[in-house]
Amino acid sequence: MHVWTLANQKGGCGKTTTAINLSAALAALGKRVLLIDLDPQAHATLGLGHASESGPSMTQVLCHGVAIETMTRAAPGGFHLAPSSPTLVEFEEQAERRIMPEQVLVHALEGVRGRYDHVIVDCPPRADGVLCANAVRAATTTMLVVETGIFACEGAKRARRIFEDKSRDFGRPFDLRVLATMFDRRTRFAREVLIAMHAEFGPAMFDTAIRHGVRLREAAGFGAPVRELDPSSRAAADYDALARECLDYARRFRAVAAKPVPVPLAMNPLDQG
């Protein structure tokens, strides 16, 4: 099960749009996908046509230990949604009274391991909060979603530093990938920002850049992924390309993780005594 945490330090970068549409694109490729809305604003929940103030939500999971698998809902596009609600701010308020509050989501995800191939976690637009800390700790890969706009690179670099600081006590390497969104290839400025992002983040960048398009806004108002509204659209094609790239990356990640770590001769227990 590959856990993708989608995050940034700011809102308006296409993070929730990517969470919804990447989930649908992965599901269209035959993968079992769970989208977890970890933002108290509940934009992913609302963007999939679900009410954010009724029924069970991630509040019960994080605050009261309810199993994730008991409160997921079917989402348009063939995947499952673990919804959010404004009451999720209760978890942030309780965090100071908890022991290791940043590890609650890690333990909650154990209940769905084996049920899903990919879990997408949509974070709130606050990289230094306890909700985001939970998502980054639970992640196999943290996806930094960055719009190709003014000051985008500087904000992304600050967010990367925050995530790297959080990861120092994980006991494992921190895996980061960077996705460019809202790209308008017609403008010289957007092209220059994309070049600057590749220069800054290098091989951590996805090859796919999500282009700016009206269809994405229309799909959000429709309460469904863009491929449900217009599967032949440019936006749907972009997320299909991203999904294929994510699958290839996840396969290579598993292959590397499965390789045995060589044991130095001096440390080989068969050589002792």
What percent of the chain stands above pLDDT 90?
A: 53
Structure confidence at residue 52 (pLDDT): 67
Give me the helices (H) in the chain, please.
15-28, 43-47, 58-64, 89-94, 104-109, 130-138, 152-166, 188-201, 214-222, 226-229, 234-258
Q: Is the pLDDT of residue 267 over 60?
A: no
Structure confidence at residue 188 (pLDDT): 87
- The domain in which residue 250 lies consists of 2-271
Structure confidence at residue 261 (pLDDT): 54
The band of 168, judged by pLDDT with boundaries at 50, 70 and 90, is confident
Q: Is the pLDDT of residue 259 over 90?
A: no
Mean pLDDT of 81-105: 86
Q: Is the dihedral of CA 93, 96, 97, 102 positive or negative?
A: positive
pLDDT digits (tens, 9 = 90+) for 5-61: 998 877 677 899 999 999 999 999 999 999 999 999 999 999 998 876 767 899 999
Is the entire prediction scored with pTM above 0.85? yes
Structure confidence at residue 260 (pLDDT): 66
Structure confidence at residue 266 (pLDDT): 47
pLDDT digits (tens, 9 = 90+) for 198-250: 998 999 999 999 998 888 888 888 889 999 989 999 999 999 999 999 999 99
**Residue with the larger pLDDT of the pair 95 and 219:** 219
C-alpha to C-alpha distance for 122 and 119, rounded to whole angstroms:
10
pLDDT digits (tens, 9 = 90+) for 178-196: 999 988 888 888 888 889 8
Mean of the per-residue pLDDT values for the chain?
Answer: 87
C-alpha to C-alpha distance for 244 and 223, rounded to whole angstroms:
24
Say how many domains are in the chain.
1
Task: Tell me the CATH number at 220.
Answer: 3.40.50.300
Structure confidence at residue 272 (pLDDT): 45
Strand order, beta sheet including 118-122: 73-75, 79-82, 33-37, 118-122, 2-7, 141-147, 176-183, 205-211
